[in-house]
Chain A
Amino acid sequence: MDAVLLARVQFAFTVGFHFLFPAMTLGTSLTILISESLYLIKKDEIYRKITDFLARLLGLIFVIGVATGITMEFSFGMNWSGYSRVVGDIFGPILAAEAIIAFFLEAVFIGVLIFARNKVSPKVYWLSALLVFIGSHLSAFWILAANSWMQTPAGFQIDGTGKIILSSFRQAVFNPSTMIRLFHTTMASWMTCAIMIAGIAGYYVSKGLHGETAKKMLKMGIILFAITPLLQLSTGHIHAIQVIDAQPEKAAALEGLFETTKGAPLYLAGYVDAEKEKTYGVYIPRLLSFLYNFDLDSEIKGLKEFPKEHWPPVNIVFQAYHVMVGVGMLAIFLGLLGLILLVRNKLFEATTYLFILPFLIPLPHIAHEAGWVAAEVGRQPWIIYKLMKTADAASVVVPANQIFFSLIMFTIVYSLIFAMFVLVFVRIMKKGL
């Protein structure tokens, strides 16, 4: 088999697996900060119990995030040495900055959060929660800056040998898509945790477990569950406009748009046949153009504007994007439903809703994995948009059979870790608050 394809599959698998955990970490660090702040203000033991429970969960989540994150840092060198040789000037410092400025902070104070509840004063404990929140979000910032630079490269020059030379660190880090992708990803993480907390607390309340504590936690979860998908809708909207402007091929693939169109439609669901250059499905006429700049007739570029060899695999990108949007819409509906039940004081008796809640826990993960597939497959065939092809980025010295072997090993090891994660997660959940 093709070594580049194998390396891509391995990277997709390992980073897709890794991302499950940071996505939970960011949101959990937020909710810990919220409940610990409430504890400090209201001096109510209930919030302390919620924090302690979340810290136990965070311990599990963070460990797997760290462990699988090492793989990512190593794989740029192991599988993508061609890429690493060319982008060391820019990608290297961003990764190093992540470790020095963010990851240390997060890792050191997570130790305090998990192990030092009874060793430090409430104020120091709260400070640790704040620092973990800051550290984990800074970490997301740097990683997304690196990833965004591959989508919308900036702040560089190309020297005579084809090497990319950093010319402005600020421009490279704050490239045109960094901030919006940071907001969009952060909100996805907050939503992931909101639904996780609502799901766990919903289970407790429906079983009549942990009394007031579970109810407070459910309330917290539902409020976040109602807010975050709505905020995500707006970050998603702004991000989509940014992609239409900066990466029109990707934007066209997201909507399966082949012809440049004034008054382009928005598909709700469908199927793209890239061979026949046709998209089938249910759509709302002119909505894409309207959403782009609130003009029903604005022009959106179609794929045919670009050479076919620069098209991403259109149907994959289209499907992934629509799964993400679909789940997002469902989340908005379910979150608002929960809020209505809460406001009307019917939430704790809404047996069907509470029964469904725990089963929603995987839902946001599906959305962010799909969104990430849309973003990264949508970037193909480029590893760095319009600068370097993915095919030129792989390690030349690593033969296909070794990557095949490592891919099998990762599959086995990660399956084991995932099974254990679910088992321990359920165990922590059953043990209760």
Chain B
Amino acid sequence: MENIQNFQVLWFILIAILFLGYALLDGFDLGIGALLPFIGKNKEEKDILINSIGPVWDGNEVWLVAGAGALFAAFPQAYATAFSGFYLGMLLIVFALIFRAVSMEFRAHDERRAWFWEKILFAGSCLAPLLLGITLGNVIYGVPLDDRMEFTGSLLTLLRPVPFLFGIVGLSAIVLQGASYAILKTEGELHLRAIKAMHILLMINMLTAGLYFVMLACISPSLLSSPLFYMAILLALLGLGELVFSLSKESSANLLGKSSLYFLGLWLVTVTAHFPNLIKAADTPYLSITIYNSSTGLYTLQVMSVIALVGMPIVVGYTVFAYRIFKGKAKAQRY
């Protein structure tokens, strides 16, 4: 038994890393979509913004596919409960991701309705992180579960204020990530507007992050005795502080790394608060779905570990290679 527990913990960490990778990478391209109407003032600027994410968004989205697949492979009971229980919410996430993906391609070829596809891109890019955040909020804050691990709430359960706040916190951090990327990839007026957006977003994020740490400490008070909690606060503060410092120095060096550091802080406190739960049962903690009562067998976890621990470094390697091809400022021409 000892042995399988190690693998269950390992897979909790690996899934957390996959979703972190998703948040950081797809985060900046979703963030660009969300910023589009605010900082892109004309067609050329919008072209630049969309082209800056064009070559990379699809690879970034695979992190979500991998994360969800890993959840299915390691903790199928949690995957089954969440996806069937939050049916309408999941449906909306699917549509948000579909629309955000096709809108960029359709916009490029359908100039007459470009305004429409831009609105769709904006809506999809905002909704996806908001809803994913709300989903995460629900499994951390707790949802009603029965003794067969089935969700017994409704759509209204999902939209309670506390989980909704998780969504807002996530969305703010994702858009901040987008602003970092926009500053890196643009020049001239667009660049200045992105910096301005970053100023506003920094203020919003100081507020949401502060709120988030307090809220999580209230939800699971045991956090206060964990060193990871304080480390997470430190990381988040460091990230935000570095961003403020960069802006005041008018330097855009490694902005994405700094906003990623901030997100890492948020993520660290999230997983620390949640461990070892996967879906907390509200009011009936003993019915919670944890890594210990929902996992696949030892052999499956071992096979998966080999695939992930060999495969993911290779993935990261060629992803870095591809990103280097596209480094530098984005252009308005597509090809």
Chain A residues in the interface with B (C-beta under 8 A): 52, 59-60, 62-64, 66-71, 73-74, 76-79, 81-82, 84-85, 87-93, 95-101, 103-105, 107-112, 114-120, 131, 165-167, 169, 395-398, 402, 405-406, 409, 413, 417, 420, 423-424, 427-428
* Docked complex Cα distance between A428 and B98 (Å): 21
When the two chains form their complex, are residues B98 and A71 in contact, meaning their CB atoms are under 8 A apart?
A: yes
Other-chain residue from B81, B105, B297 in contact with A424 (beta carbon distance below 8 A): B105
Decide yes or no whether B238 CB sits under 8 A from chain A.
Answer: no
- Contact status of A66 and B61, CB under 8 A, knowing A76-B72, A78-B84, A85-B80: yes
Asked if B58 is at the interface of the complex by the 8 Å CB criterion, the answer is yes
With both chains docked as a complex, state the minimum distance between the C-beta of A59 and any C-beta of chain B, in angstroms.
7
Question: Would you call A96 and B73 a contact (CB within 8 A)?
Answer: yes
| 28 pairs, A vs B, C-beta closer than 8 Å | A69-B65, A70-B61, A70-B94, A77-B80, A81-B83, A82-B80, A84-B76, A87-B76, A92-B74, A92-B79, A92-B300, A93-B304, A99-B66, A104-B66, A107-B61, A111-B56, A115-B55, A166-B303, A397-B84, A405-B88, A406-B88, A406-B91, A413-B98, A413-B99, A420-B106, A420-B110, A424-B106, A424-B109
Contact A89 B72 (CB under 8 A): no
Specify which chain B residues have a CB less than 8 angstroms from the CB of A52 in the assembled complex: 335
Complexed CA–CA distance, A48 and B122 (Å) = 35
Check: B325 CB closer than 8 A to any chain A CB: yes
What residues of chain A lie closer than 8 Å to B93, measured between beta carbons?
Answer: 74
Residues 69-119 (chain B) with a chain A CB within 8 angstroms: 69-70, 72-77, 79-85, 87-88, 90-91, 93-95, 97-99, 101-102, 104-106, 109-110
Q: Are B66 and A66 in contact (CB under 8 A)?
A: no
How would you classify the secondary structure of chain A's contact residues: helix, strand, loop or mixed? helix
Any A CB within 8 A of the CB of B59: yes
Q: Which of A87, A96, A398 contacts B307 (CB 8 A)?
A: A96
Q: Is B228's CB within 8 Å of the partner chain A?
A: no
Task: Assess the A110–B73 pair: CB atoms within 8 A.
Answer: no
A84-B79 contact, Cβ under 8 Å, with A63-B58, A96-B73, A104-B62:
yes
Is the beta-carbon distance between B98 and A417 smaller than 8 angstroms?
Answer: yes
Contact B150 A397 (CB under 8 A): yes
Q: How distant is A279 from chain B, measured CB to nearest CB, in Å? A: 40
Complex: how many Å from CA A104 to CA B325?
17
A73 adjacent to B68 (CB under 8 Å): yes
B311 at the interface (CB under 8 A from A): yes
Neighbouring A residues of B84 by C-beta, 8 Å: 77-79, 81, 395-398
Asked if B105 and A101 make an inter-chain contact with CB atoms under 8 angstroms apart, the answer reads no
Let me know if B322 is at the binding interface, CB within 8 A. yes
Cα-based distance from A88 to B301 in the complex (angstroms) = 11
Chain B residues with CB under 8 A of A110: 58
When distances are taken between beta carbons in the complex, the residues of chain A under 8 Å from B297 are 89, 165-166
> A98: which B residues are within 8 A, CB to CB?
69
Q: At the interface with chain A, which of B196-204, B275-283, B312-320?
A: B312-320
- Cα separation A417 to B103 with both chains bound (whole Å): 10
Q: Is B141 an interface residue (CB 8 A)?
A: no
Known: A104-B62, A165-B297, A396-B150. A67 touches B101 (CB 8 A): yes
Contacts of A402 in B (CB 8 A): 87-88
A350 to B298, CA, bound (A): 63
- In the assembly, what is the distance between CA of A69 and CA of B68, in Å? 13
Q: How far is the CA of A49 from the CA of B91 in the complex (A)?
A: 40
Contact A95 B105 (CB under 8 A): no
CB of B258 to closest CB in A, whole Å: 24
Q: Is the CB of B105 within 8 A of A59?
A: yes
Interface centre among A74, A100, A166 (most CB of B within 10 A): A100
A387 CB, min distance to chain B CBs, angstroms: 16
- Asked if A420 meets B72 with Cβ closer than 8 Å, knowing A73-B65, A81-B81, A397-B150, the reply is no
Q: How long is the Cα–Cα vector from A116 to B334 in the complex, in angstroms?
A: 10
**Within the assembled complex, what's the spacing in Å between the Cα atoms of A158 and B61?**
35
Q: Are B97 and A70 in contact (CB under 8 A)?
A: yes
- Distance between Cα atoms of A420 and B102 in the complex (Å): 9
Q: CA–CA, A100 to B307, complex, Å?
A: 8
A161: min CB distance to chain B, Å? 12
User: Is B308 among interface residues, defined by CB-CB distance under 8 A?
Assistant: yes
Tell me the bound Cα distance from A397 to B303 in angstroms.
Answer: 31
Is B54 engaged at the interface, CB distance under 8 Å to the other chain?
yes
Of B56, B66, B299, which is within 8 A of A100 by CB? Answer: B66
The reply on B38 being an interface residue by CB < 8 A is no
Q: Chain A residues near B245: list those with CB within 8 A.
A: none
Q: Which residues of A have CB within 8 Å of B334?
A: 115
Q: CA separation between A413 and B79, bound complex, in Å? A: 25
- A108 vs B322: C-alpha distance when bound (angstroms): 7
Task: Provide the bound-state CA to CA distance between A398 and B76, in Å.
Answer: 17
Taking a contact as CB atoms under 8 Å apart, the answer to whether B296 and A95 are in contact is no
Contacts of B85 in A (CB 8 A): 397
* Known A402-B88, A423-B110; contact A92-B58, beta-carbon cutoff 8 A: no
Not counting A131-B318, A397-B84, A417-B98, a sample of 7 additional A-B residue pairs whose C-beta atoms are within 8 angstroms of each other reads A77-B79, A92-B69, A93-B296, A96-B308, A99-B65, A167-B299, A420-B102
The answer to whether A78 and B319 touch across the interface, beta carbons within 8 angstroms, is: no
> Is the beta-carbon distance between B102 and A64 smaller than 8 angstroms?
yes
A105 and B318 contacting across the interface, CB-CB below 8 Å: yes
With an 8 A cutoff between CB atoms, is B151 at the interface?
yes
Option from A76, A117, A169, A395 in Cβ contact (under 8 Å) with B335: A117
A-contacting residues, B1-24, CB 8 Å? none
Could you say which residues of chain B place their CB within 8 Å of the CB of A71? 94, 98
Q: Contacts of A69 on B, CB cut-off 8 Å?
A: 65
Nearest residue (CB) in A for B60 is: A107
Whether B98 contacts A112 by the Cβ 8 Å rule is no
> Would you give the shortest CB distance from A83 to chain B, in whole angstroms?
8
Chain A residues positioned under 8 Å from B75 (CB to CB) = 88
Least Cβ distance of A73 to chain B in Å?
6
